[in-house]
Amino acid sequence: AQTVTQSQPEMSVQEAETVTLSCTYDTSESDYYLFWYKQPPSRQMILVIRQEAYKQQNATENRFSVNFQKAAKSFSLKISDSQLGDAAMYFCAYRTAETQGGSEKLVFGKGTKLTVNP
């Protein structure tokens, strides 16, 4: 079974600075998808960024980028120019690419609580 580990329960960053959140995963599959979701105090789950395992290029969405190291099974999220609105729980998630009779569930890490200091 796949597992996702976020080793940093809490992180903090100064406004306008850069922070990196770590995520590692365990799988025997070669094709899969990885996601970062953000959960602000409203508790809404918001997609931040998505990475396909077959793509070597790291995904980027505005101030958010990932460092995807497939061999190391590592998928870190970098937030540049941090803003107060970035304060939230961040969840790393894994999804198999196999669709034949399998579950397409998301497997989540425990989350990292990010605090942004003004």
Query: Out of 34, 111, 112, 114, which residue is the one contacting another protein (CB under 8 A)?
Result: 111
Nearer to another protein, 43 or 85 (CB): 43
Beta strands in the chain (DSSP E): 3-5, 10-14, 19-21, 24-26, 32-39, 46-52, 60-61, 64-69, 74-79, 88-96, 107-108, 112-117
CA 54 to mean position of chain CA atoms: 17
How many residues contact another protein, by CB under 8 A?
A: 25
Contact string (CB under 8 A) for another protein, positions 55-84, x = contact: ------------------------------
Contact string (CB under 8 A) for another protein, positions 29-58, x = contact: ----x-x-x----xxxxxx--x-x------
Query: Out of 17, 29, 61, 104, which residue is the one contacting another protein (CB under 8 A)?
Result: 104
Report CA torsion sign: 54, 114, 37, 29: positive
3-5 and 112-117 strand pairing = unpaired
CA 43 to mean position of chain CA atoms: 17
Binding segment for another protein among 16-24, 63-71, 74-82, 92-100 (CB under 8 A)? Answer: 92-100
List residues near another protein by CB under 8 A: 33, 35, 37, 42-47, 50, 52, 91, 95, 97, 99, 102-111
